[in-house]
Structure 1
Amino acid sequence: MAPTSSAPFIAVVGGGPAGLLAAQRLAEAGHRVTVFEAQPTVGRKFLVAGHGGFNLTNAEPLPAFTQRYGARQTDFGRFLSHFTPTDLRQWLGSLGIDTFVGTSGRVFPVEAHKPAQVLRAWLQHLQTLGVQLRVRHRWLGFTPERALLLRDEASGQEFSVQPAATVLALGGASWAKTGSDGQWTSLLSSWGVALEPFAPSNCGAEVAWSEFFRTKVGRAPLKNIALECGGQTVRGELLLTDYGVEGTPVYALTPPLRAALQASEPARLYLNLKPDLTAEQLRHKLLAPATASPWPFTWKKPCAWARPSRRCCGSWPQLRRGPRRMRWRRCCSGCPFPSRGCGPWTKPFPRLEVWPGRKLMKI
């Protein structure tokens, strides 16, 4: 139901998921709401990100879910109590979007629902609530009277509006082509608003692979691995790329890696290729009676390693020489391996060390 003309007018700046959900809640509370978005359409990052898998949330229990927010878990635990992952799935169901929980615990729409369909259903619901969308309207800051200063990008005309309240849902600085360019920080700083600097989040690790490794492995997944950093362990699938590694485990460990970098301390990221085996079990398999098979197969058979995992170990020449028992000792002592950096961070990694069951990335 659309609000009455006498209802308070609320402006929402930013047409991403946060801005659209704020507009929905405000409209449901009876306010007149207008969303101002600088891009030609709303939800652009939502649509682009959805092509990579379109996971919407995680179905794990709330106490465990809040721990993903690190030092802010107390605050986000309070936020999530108002809109839990279960609430999100129920809300999507009310829009006609069915969801399911994948093997990783992440929540996805059923295959029939694409990102554009989910966004279209949401926008139709906002329309029934009377929410007005003004695309190609860029926020320029505030007037001396503290009204919102906007520019219609189609006509170039600047104008101001004086809402009863304003919600700023401006996004980060991670994807400029979708509108997340972070340029709004200067507008708030000019009004004396204290801001936390942008920091890397949900990013991969750049590794200076050897030419041998890049040629033999290329782009390949490492399945059922575990990553550890700062006492946190995350299991999942890692993707080897020509520039480094990507995947949910390394994304989830961005905060402890970032914290170590900010403290100018070495940041160690451990990759366990066989997390279901203890070190002793792995040692027993590797020291099993040798066979006449070529060296790579002496690793493959006892440990059931897939080709990318074998290449991780086989790309170090120190591990391909001498008796098997000596190879195990060399693996345990670690082998230097150069790397460049992690995600958008510019601080280089002096080296990366590797074990058959674990890799150590030093920053």
Structure 2
Amino acid sequence: MPPAILEALVPLDLMQPQGVDAAEAASSMFSGFRNYVLARTDVSVATLYNAQSGLFRATVRHGGSPEQAAELDPRIRSFDLAGVFALTEPGHGSDIAGGLATTARRDGDDWVIDGQKRWIGGADTADVLTVFARDTADALIKAFLVPRTADGVGLRTITGKVSLRPMQNAVVTLDGVRVPASARLLQVNGWADVARILRVMRSDVAWIAAGLQAGALDAAVRYVREREQFGRPVGGFQLVQEKLARMLANLTSSLGMIVQLSARQDAGEYLDENSALAKLQTARLARETVALAREVVGGNGILLENDVARFFADAEAVYSYEGTHEINSLIVGRALTGVSAFL
């Protein structure tokens, strides 16, 4: 990720820009449209910014005590304190709720953390890693702000990705990492609290999925207006226009769903099934939208120099992160039937 990206974004103070009052800036609608606009430009840029403004900030605001949130939130907004969300592990992704293996044990006034985390975006440049670990005393999940440079912390960048190529993800190893009691986020005392945080984050990802579709549509329309075949621009062919219309329909329906979701959240209604439904539907439609964009661009749609190819590849990452289609479907299914099908 070029350093110039954050160097340009941070001074804009997009978490609370000048002229926007604090209540609006803190709303789901405002953060949603911020994610939408960033993702319309580039999904890696949106993911990088949301790692700070969404994942890390939401974890501190909803997982920390009021005192912790009040102290840290201004530093998070200014990027004076950069952090990331470290939940998933090499052996546990979709089953992380019951399978989380990283441990934390109390030792006097400190906590000692052991384990591994995987797919941690932005870990290589973060000041702190928000590490979720299982307390060996009560088996409940707790959260800790672990300095990236602490003794016992190791990072290895994951290479060979086809999606979100500029966004660096890492495997994080924690070997006897010692942090003070003040590093624990005091409102995370079990999986229910982690789920409460994830409920907010899934709506962020749904907005990113919509922005991705807008970017793919922009790129496809730009291409078909300029590309000529059979003596005229391909944008004038009926089958191409039909695909563009379907792309716009997918984008419009995605926006309609997530605007309604954010309106409900801003009214105080936070339901797992609502955010899960929005994430699974917008990510599913994003997959179809980018495939249609790739079709109208033809063979050039697989070239990295083409914006369509970038959105096409990135849709695969968005489809999986912050809850796979299958897991989100089971959350919705549980709400519909009253029966959990997870096990």
TM-score, normalized by length of structure 1? 0.25
- TM-score scaled by structure 2? 0.26
Q: Which has the larger radius of gyration?
A: 1
> Which structure is higher in helix share?
2
> Which structure is richer in relative contact order (CA contacts within 8 A, separation 6 or more)?
2
More strand by share: 1
